[in-house]
Amino acid sequence: MDKLIDEQIDLKREIISKFDKMSNSDHIQILEMKYLKGNNLVEIAAEMGYSYSQIKRKHGWALEEFKQFI
pLDDT, residue 2, reads 87
Nearest CA-CA partner of 26 in 54, 5, 67: 54
33-69, pLDDT tens digit by residue?
999 999 999 999 999 999 999 999 999 999 999 999 8
Residue type, 4: L
Mind listing the domains of the chain with CATH numbers? 3-68 (1.10.10.10)
pLDDT, residue 58, reads 99
CA 46, CA 67: separation in Å to the nearest integer? 26
Rounded to two decimals, the pTM is 0.85
